[in-house]
Amino acid sequence: MRSRGLAYLDVLKIDTEGFDPAVLAGAYESLANQRVGLLSFEYHKLWNQSGSTLKQCVHYLDDLGYSCYYDGPVLAKVSGSCWKDAYEIRRWSNIVCVRRGTGMEKELYAGSYLASAKGKTDRRKAKNLKTSKIG
């Protein structure tokens, strides 16, 4: 970004066949200064080459102000208190991260498993409330 004179990057897509953690480390200045809106990277068994784990990268990005999600059939948040060691699967998948506190973060969350599960819970509570008022 510095060599191209870019002050901000809307999307940073990383696909370096196992060396994505090295690219994330190299992007530290831009990420720390919130100059990337959304980033996407691959996670798979080739990460063994870099010696990094998904947990390390997710925590690194979390510390820099990004919320991360598994980008698969179900959008599942993996940042912060949502992290589970079971996510360290070393199988091909995509991770998408977005700056916290932005409209884009709200949109990702709205499309995530957490939001849909919460919505189901809220609908069950509303149904129970209606039933208890009627009965």
pLDDT range class, residue 130, cuts 50, 70, 90: very low
pLDDT of residue 119: 56
Among the listed residues 6, 10, 19, the one whose alpha carbon sits nearest the alpha carbon of residue 98? 10
pLDDT of residue 43: 87
pLDDT at 66 over 50: yes
pTM attached to this predicted model: 0.79
Residue with tokens 């709200």: 106
Strand partners, 75: 71
pLDDT range class, residue 19, cuts 50, 70, 90: confident
Q: Give the residue ranges of DSSP H helices in 1-135.
A: 20-26, 28-32, 54-63, 103-110, 113-134
Instruction: Estimate the crossing angle of helix 103-110 against helix 113-134, to 10 degrees.
Output: 60
The tally of CA atoms less than 13 A away on the side-chain side of residue 20 is 28
What tokens appear for 65 in the block? Answer: 């102000």
- Summarised one tens digit per residue, pLDDT across range 112-124 is 877 777 654 443 4
